[in-house]
Amino acid sequence: MRGCGARASGAGFYSGAVTDWLTALVIGLAAVACVVCAVLLARDTPAQDRTFALLAAVEVAVVVQLVLGVVALVRTDDPVEGVLFVSYLVGNLFALPVGVFWSLAERTRAGTAVLLVATFTVIALQARLETIWGAAGV
Amino acid sequence: MRPVSEPATTDDRASLSSGPGRTLVFVYGVFAVAATGRSVLQLATEAGDAPLAYTLSLVAAVIYLVATTCLLLGGRTAWRVAVVACSVELVGVLVTGVLTYTAPDLFPDKTVWSHFGQGYAFLPLVLPFLGLLWLRRTRP
C-alpha cells in the first residue's frame, strides 16, 4: 500500500518523520497501558495513580497527534479523506477520558476491564488512521 | 469527585450498567459512536454508491445506540427493548455476514457487519451474544 515510490517522503503514515514517530509513540504507550490493565484485571486490582498517569501520557500524545495530524492534512497533496481523517483524530481524544470516568464509578474488575477496552480502542483507531492516510497515498 | 448518582447499585435501574454490564455498556458505546460516525459520513458523502450497505450501516448504528441507551437506563422496559435490540443485532450480523460472502455484489462498500464484523476484530459477532447472556442474567 504505502511507499510505492510515488511520494518523496517514502513510507510514512502521515507525511513526515515526526508524525510517524508520534504514531509509534501513541501505539507504544497505549500497548504498555493495555498490558498494565490486563495485569490489573488478572490480579483483580483496581487501577492506581501510576496507571492513570500512564493513561494521561497516552492522552497527551493523542492530543499532540490531533494537532500534528491536522497540520499534516493541510500540507499534504495526497487526496486524503479529510473529514474522515479528522473525525478519527477527534474520536481518538474521547476514548480514554470517557473510559476513565466510566471506570472510576466502579473500582472493580469491571472498571478495570473498561480501561482495557479504552486503551485497546486507541490502538485500533491508530490502525484506522494509518489506513485512511495510506489509502490516499497509493 | 462528583456525587454518586445512583442511590443504590442493587436497585433495578442501575443493575444493567454495573458489574460486567459496565464493561458491556462501554463496548456498546464505542460501537454506537463508531457505527453512527461511519453511517453519517457515508450517507452524507456518497449515499448513492452503495444504498444497501449504507442503510445497513445506519440500522447497525441505531441498534447500537438503542442497546447502549437501554443498558444505561435500566429497568423493566429498557431490559425488554435491549433484548429486542440485541436479537436484531445478532440476526443482522449473521445475515449480513453470510450475504457478504455469498453475494458480495450487494455490498460495494463495507458495513460494520460485513464478513461477520471482520473489520472490527469480529467483535460485532461476539457482542450480541455477550449482550443477550448479560440480559439473561439480569432478567427483571
**pLDDT tens digits, A88-121:** 999 999 999 999 999 999 899 999 999 999 999 9
Q: Which three cell numbers stand for residue A112?
A: 478495570
**Does A45 fall in a domain?**
yes
Domain that holds residue A63: 17-134
Q: Is residue A2 a part of any domain in this protein?
A: no
3-state class (DSSP) for residue A57:
helix
DSSP reduced 3-state for A81: coil
Whether the CB of B119 is below 8 Å from some CB of chain A: the reply is: no
Contact B19 A111 (CB under 8 A): no
Q: Helix, strand, coil: what percent of chain A each, to 5?
A: 75, 0, 25
Is the confidence at residue A134, as pLDDT, over 60?
Answer: yes
pLDDT at B27: 96
d(CA B98, CA B2): 47
- Residue A8 resides in a domain: no
Q: Is residue A104 part of a domain?
A: yes
Convert the pLDDT of each residue in B83-126 to its tens digit: 999 999 999 999 999 999 998 888 878 888 999 998 888 999 99
Q: B14-24, pLDDT tens digit by residue?
A: 588 998 999 99
The total number of structural domains that make up chain A = 1
Task: Give the minimum alpha-carbon distance from B120 to chain A in angstroms, rounded to a whole number.
Answer: 9
User: How much is the ipTM here?
Assistant: 0.84
Whether A103 and B22 lie within 8 Å, measured CB to CB: yes
Q: Is A84 on the interface with B (CB under 8 A)?
A: yes
Q: Kindly state whether residue A71 falls inside one of the protein's structural domains.
A: yes
Question: B41 touching A, CB under 8 A?
Answer: yes
- Mean pLDDT in chain A? 85
**Under an 8 A CB cutoff, do A118 and B26 touch?**
yes
What pLDDT does residue A82 have?
Answer: 85
Is A27 within the bounds of a domain?
Answer: yes
Query: pLDDT above 90 covers what percent of chain A?
Result: 59
Chain B residues whose CB is inside 8 A of the A131 CB are none
Any domain includes A9: no
Of all residues in chain A, the one with the smallest CA distance to B27 is A117
Of the listed ranges A15-24, B39-48, B98-107, the one predicted with least confidence: A15-24
Give yes or no for residue B8 having a pLDDT over 50. Answer: no
pLDDT value at residue A113: 95
A32: Cβ contacts below 8 Å, ≥ 6 apart:
A54
Q: Is residue A10 predicted with pLDDT exceeding 50?
A: no
Q: Is the pLDDT of residue B130 over 90?
A: yes
Asked if A108 has any chain B CB less than 8 Å from its own CB, the reply is yes
Cell numbers 450480523: residue: B93
Is the Cβ–Cβ distance between B112 and B60 less than 8 Å? yes
Q: How far apart are CA A101 and CA A78, in angstroms?
A: 38
Residue to substitute from A106, A119, A131, interface B, most B β-carbons within 10 A: A106
Q: Is residue A7 a part of any domain in this protein?
A: no
Q: Buried b vs exposed e over A1-38: b needs ≥16 C-beta within 10 Å?
A: ebeeeebebeebbbbbeebbebbeebbebbbebbebbb
